Amino acid sequence: GIQVEQSPPDLILQEGANSTLRCNFSDSVNNLQWFHQNPWGQLINLFYIPSGTKQNGRLSATTVATERYSLLYISSSQTTDSGVYFCAVKGGGNKLTFGTGTQLKVEL
Amino acid sequence: DGGITQSPKYLFRKEGQNVTLSCEQNLNHDAMYWYRQDPGQGLRLIYYSQIVNDFQKGDIAEGYSVSREKKESFPLTVTSAQKNPTAFYLCASSMGEGGGYTFGSGTRLTVV
């Protein structure tokens, strides 16, 4: 099946800093999503982005499908951005495969 | 508001007992999914269903069972055959092949 690797595994930022999270995947995909899991476990869908670039406020994402990677940009980070960020992809089948996540902590 | 409701939020059971986790959605989504998350890990797929009265095994289906008698509901039973059932269980739905997934708030199951 498709392998999904995320980097870095852990990240600590000062409030106001910018960051880039990366997701590499091993095969062609027709579905790629970024999720944020808050400290209570709730998974929030940030972007559905199998290709191209999207922006939503301080967050943006870019997927280069031909090179099999996606990037999530967080600008002017806030403490509420803390949590785990997951990339998940779907290839030819019906299974959405998750990476192991990036644990982000934003400090004052 | 449309969404996915999982209940209960916390569940404690004795070893050897079966337990059923509820998942209901009012998004009119065709597909529903159950995932398991262990501490510090990503999500792993247990079962999924693309239409009513049909479902398929995911990567870790052993010790679990599901039903899909209604479009809105996809309950998961954790049976006594599941060797290590203590985990965080998440239910999700989607319109089908394309489109984003919407997740419920999860059920934390602890078996003592």
CA–CA distance, B93 with B49 (Å, rounded to integer): 9
Which tokens belong to A88? 């998940």
CA–CA distance, A104 with A81 (Å, rounded to integer): 8
Angle at B105 between CA B91 and CA B50, to 5 degrees: 20
Quote the minimal CA–CA distance from A43 to chain B in Å.
Answer: 6
- Tokens 């269903």: give the residue: B49
**Predicted confidence band at A31 (pLDDT cuts at 50, 70, 90)?**
confident
Strands A10-14 and A102-107: parallel
Chain A positions with Cβ closer than 8 Å to B: 30-31, 33, 35, 40-45, 48, 86, 88, 94-101
Find which of B47, B89, B103 to mutate to test the A interface (most A CBs within 10 Å of its CB): B103
Q: What is the chain B residue with the closest CA to A38?
A: B105
**Predicted confidence band at B97 (pLDDT cuts at 50, 70, 90)?**
low
**Predicted confidence band at A40 (pLDDT cuts at 50, 70, 90)?**
confident
Q: Which of B43, B102, B106 has its CB closest to that of A98?
A: B43
pLDDT digits (tens, 9 = 90+) for B40-94: 888 999 999 999 999 999 999 999 999 999 999 999 999 988 889 999 999 999 8
Residues of B in contact with A25 (CB under 8 A): none
Taking only Cα atoms into account, the Rg of chain A, rounded to an integer number of angstroms, comes to 13
pLDDT digits (tens, 9 = 90+) for A51-75: 999 999 999 999 999 999 999 999 9
